Structure 1
Amino acid sequence: MKATRAGALEICYEESGPEDGKPVIMLHGFPYDALAFDAVSTRLSARGFRCIVPYLRGFGATRFLSSATIRSGQQAALGADLIALMDALHIDRAFLGGFDWGGRAACIVAALWPERVLGLVSCGQGYNIQDIASARRPAPAIEEARYWYMFYFNMERGRAGLAENRNDLCRHIWSLWSPSWAFDEDTFARTAVSFENPDFVDIVVHSYRHRFGETPGDPALDQIERTLARQPDIGVPAIVLQGADDGVDPPASDDADAVHFTNFYERRIVEAAGHNPPQEAPDAFAKAILDLA
């Protein structure tokens, strides 16, 4: 594991492959960590890519540099962290790939800093930039039921539940979101270490409250949030991977996200995979990067 100071954080990250290889930065979501990309990194590094997989804010050994920094989990923070990491590592352009929160960070950088992105692989929600202005409008009942955890974290009971029962809760989420993934206890336990980060609970709770407009964001990120509120298009080559068995974001028959992509775009449904394609179907994720390259 390596570490670098980037923006508000000391970001810890895994790196593999040749230093002079084409860089690909891959980002995990909640409740996962960098280990989700181990098998993908093995495949891509063998093909000459420089693979960088950071632990997001609130996960693993990544830490804030100042106790005064707001422990924000808002989408602008994730995007700002990613561009700060690229700057810190002197990476001018890279392929970006991610799922869940990590897919959101990748989409934000692809939309706002397209000159820094060689190609994008986004999992689940292909266009993964939140429309916070409309987030308070009720969704269809079947969607509301899938989003129970968001509502839970908007209550103090949810904060307490995450603090006291984080492993039980996160393991349950894995099972619901990836019902066809037969992960074993050792696989979960190795990732669950990352949930012991001292800022994990605050970051998660802030993320799910901010996206519903229930708590203010970090004022330092206001300009990015204002830009994201306009739902900017993504103008870099992109492949979207959607797990056919995704329990929280199941693929729809129509692709409503396609309109937000103005360059090469392709949606691929990954059979026998759920919410975590890089760990459940590493060949499909690695192939998407290779196809963009």
Structure 2
Amino acid sequence: MADSQLALFSALISLLRRLGKLDDNIVLAYTLERGKKLSMLSLFYVSNVILALFALSGMNIPMYNAMRRCVPIASLLLGPCIYPQRTTSSIIMAIILITAGTITAAQGDLDFDFKSYTFGSLSVLTQALYLLTLQRMGSDNKLGSYKTSSAKTLTILYVNSVNCLPIVFAVVFLSGEYNSMKSYPHWSEPGFLFALGVVTSFACVFSYSIFLCTTVNSALTTACVGVIKSALTTIIGMYTFGGVAATPLLIIGQLINLSGGSLYTYEKYRLQKPASPKPTKKNSSIRPRKPKFTKTARNSSKTTF
């Protein structure tokens, strides 16, 4: 899915630019210089994709989504080294709750696999690194000048997609996934092609949303907001994909996760809410004093004839 998403987005942006539908005011063109400036971001991004595939080879999707909720604590710890962020005691408490819920849910996983959880932990680490690097890249204009935050996000996503595309295709060939894809029997079915196109398109929109949220807000916000999405995915996945037993520890972990995500959302809303002006005290019982007239003023007020 990652290779088709990167290929679709890169091809679509390149085609629209060639047809004149997109210009530099919307998305900047790809150049080798811009590609080099985003090399670190692309490295972390593609490492996260590869490690996630290795983790999912022995871990079910709901539990992997539950494990990804350790991204906030990784972002909080790595943030001062890459891009310092403002934190409060409530934000730290929310992230602790999210992490505690993840650990509790992992204890309730009856199919624990050490190798898969190791790859999952490395995937969490690289995801935190690429989100923090993305936030740092979004705070400056190293790729060029932008008129809107949307243009900046599209440019970073476009350059990153072109950078990662050759590496992802190489991994697909070397891992043998290409032979499995080639032998898939439903390539000629219109229904499968339609579903593949819809899923890939939504994946592009989802990636753009992540990049936009990170560049406009912060890496920590993107990680914490994703907790609610991951919790819902885990709950739905238990009844659709299967492979996860609804143990008491798993359910408790989900509730703790949602509590931490809700606390973080409220704290960010409270911090960004403009402070209301303090009302001025008005004492209406005090009457205005009458002006005092001096003796000279009273004499000058007399009319002379």
TM-score range, shorter chain: under 0.3
More strand by proportion, 1 or 2?
A: 1
| Higher RCO (Cα < 8 Å, 6 or more apart) | 2
More helix by proportion, 1 or 2?
A: 2
TM-score, normalised to structure 1, is 0.25
Larger Rg: 2
TM-score, normalised to structure 2, is 0.24
